[in-house]
Amino acid sequence: MLILDRSFGDFRKDKKKLAKFLSTSEENIIILEQIHEDKIFYADKPASGEIAGHDAAITDKKGIFLLVQIADCQAVSIKDTKLNVIANIHNGWRGSAKNIVGKTIREMAKKFGSNPADLHVTISPSLGPCCSKFSDPHNELPEHLHKYILKNNHVDFWKATFDQCLSEGVLRRNINTNGTCTVCSSDKYFSYRADKGDTGRNAVVIWI
């Protein structure tokens, strides 16, 4: 796994540099359009351009790189250590609302036969409960997320993702929350909230 932050620069501006950095070709790097929906793409071969309409990708192919771009949203990266298959998910608050993480875990089970007990999950640096203030979370978020609303209208999306993994059968010890808030650490990470919307993108890249 590789996390590209401000020190790399905005990867979108120079995909050749990105490919060189990963020692691969641009077509082997699967980049999703990311529209805050819950569609899962099976990346079984190289592709050029962004994959339209998708927020998660899965693969069982060696040499395919799954990239998720983030600037406060979570990248949730999953590896089945037994079957050697992977998933990378763009998970913002709308993703949490749609449980794209749970859906991807179920897709890995359906497509590859993954047992949730063999999955290792990493939640990237992202918006922490310290900085996730909503104006009216009880109205903005679906009911199943209300238990993550903290005082002062902050929301703990790290815990929400952790629980979504647990309820699919992922083992507690196999879920790793990075715990770095991108807003608090905006000197290191691009942050949508800290930069008031005008920012670059961090990337989390995984491969088999």
- Residues at the interface with Zn ion (CB under 5 A): 128, 130-131, 181, 183-184
CA distances from 200 to 37, 167, 194 (A): 21, 33, 12
Range list of β-strands (E), the chain: 2-4, 29-32, 40-42, 50-51, 56-59, 65-70, 74-80, 85-91, 119-123, 175-177, 202-207
Cβ-based nearer residue to Zn ion, 170 or 183: 183
- The token pair at 120 is 């290792």
Cβ-based nearer residue to Zn ion, 26 or 195: 195
* CA distance linking residue 157 with residue 165, whole number of Å: 12
Residues 6+ apart with CB under 8 A from 179: 128, 158
For residue 70, the minimal CB distance to Zn ion (Å) is 15
For residue 183, the minimal CB distance to Zn ion (Å) is 4
For residue 72, the minimal CB distance to Zn ion (Å) is 10
Counts for the chain of helices (H) and strands (E), in that order: 5, 11
* CA distance linking residue 7 with residue 96, whole number of Å: 28
For residue 66, the minimal CB distance to Zn ion (Å) is 27
For residue 173, the minimal CB distance to Zn ion (Å) is 26
CA distances from 50 to 19, 161, 189 (A): 15, 25, 23
Cβ-based nearer residue to Zn ion, 100 or 183: 183
